[in-house]
Amino acid sequence: MGKLSKTAQRALSAYGGATIWQKAQRIEAIADVSGLAFRLKFRPLFRSVRIELKVHEPVSKITPIGSQPGLSGILQGHDVWLEDATGIIADSRPAARKYFPGGRRLFYWDELDMAYFANYAFWNYLTCRRY
């Protein structure tokens, strides 16, 4: 772990210290997210979405993703897919990163675009890692 600010050190200490964080395997969170980016891409806002992710590899799941309550968006590496509540894959996009940016994605995102972008962003934000 690199040099941390005093604030980050206090926060880390308050939650059990660096050793506990370094041993963590998963993170689960609930989030509400809004903003201009969602509106510009014609996407619904995130209201009480559940995020589950692995700390040491880019694997993340957001439920719900989009307008269907039981639909999850799942990221594994650069592949993304949509899965219903029973585990059936509704749609998928291998190597989703290669479609960004460009084409119609400048104007709107479909469910798979949103699943890729949001999972990748949350994984980076919550693990402080880059893939």
pLDDT tens sequence across 105-115: 777 788 898 89
Confidence of residue 86 (pLDDT cuts 50, 70, 90): very high
Residue ranges of domains in the chain: 27-127
Assessment of whether the complete model's pTM goes beyond 0.85: no
Confidence of residue 99 (pLDDT cuts 50, 70, 90): confident
DSSP string, 108-131: ---HHHHHHHHHHHHHHHHHT---
**Which distant-in-sequence residues (6+ apart) come within 8 Å of 79 by Cβ?**
92, 93, 94, 95, 96
Distance between CA atoms of residues 113 and 32, nearest Å: 19
| Closest CA relative to residue 93, chosen from 117, 127, 122 | 117
Angle 45-53-131 (CA atoms, 0-180°, nearest 5)?
95
pLDDT tens sequence across 26-84: 999 998 887 777 776 767 777 888 999 999 899 999 999 977 888 999 999 999 999 99
